[in-house]
Amino acid sequence: MTYRILTVCTGNICRSPMAEYALREALDHAGLGDRTEVASVGTTGWEMGAPIDPRAGALLRRHGIDAAGHRARQLEEDELRRADLVLALDHDHVGPLESVLGPEHAASTVRMVRDFAPTPVQDTGIRDPWYGDESDFETAWEQIDEALGGIVDHVSSQIAADGDATADADAVGDGERSGEGAAQRPVDPPVQR
């Protein structure tokens, strides 16, 4: 089973690709790369097809990450519904996600990136650096980076829990196929005549 993660910002050229590429690398380093899939999208189509913002791309390169192949995409309902974890970069992204998923589904899959910071933060939003300068991109990077360990730990525990559930289901299935489960099944009482 592949655990699917989707990072979401407004235009998909700054924050969400920074989070996508950084998280993908962190999961690879944790040995989870072959069991996870990380992608990013925007809540709008404003930047569809555009490459990563040059300032975000330069920042990632300084950290040894190549995002040259990135092209902005807008969220699609099917992809959003398949995601096991949806990471919003700022508070204004939550509403569009809830409107697609519905409040109940969103409550089980949507989290803020900074929810995973090592110490609780008062404001879990990561502001859009597009309007600022390199220092704003550095701030966004630092806020993403500090949450990576917590996200990796969460994903690891979810994968382990899914593996345990799958193993339990397989054991029950194997027992039924071999006849071991037959004694545990309720038996209908004999019919009184």
Active site residues: 9, 15, 128
**Which two tokens mark 133?**
């300068």
CB atoms within 10 A of CB 185: 7
Helix (H) or strand (E) holding 111: strand 110-112
From residue 157, how far is each of 27, 72, 82, 126 by CA, in Å?
A: 13, 30, 19, 25
Give Cα 28 to chain centroid, integer Å: 14
Q: Residue 3: what are its φ and ψ, rounded to 5°?
A: -90, 120
CB atoms within 10 A of CB 168: 10
Amino acid at 148: L
Token look-up 């519905």 returns 102
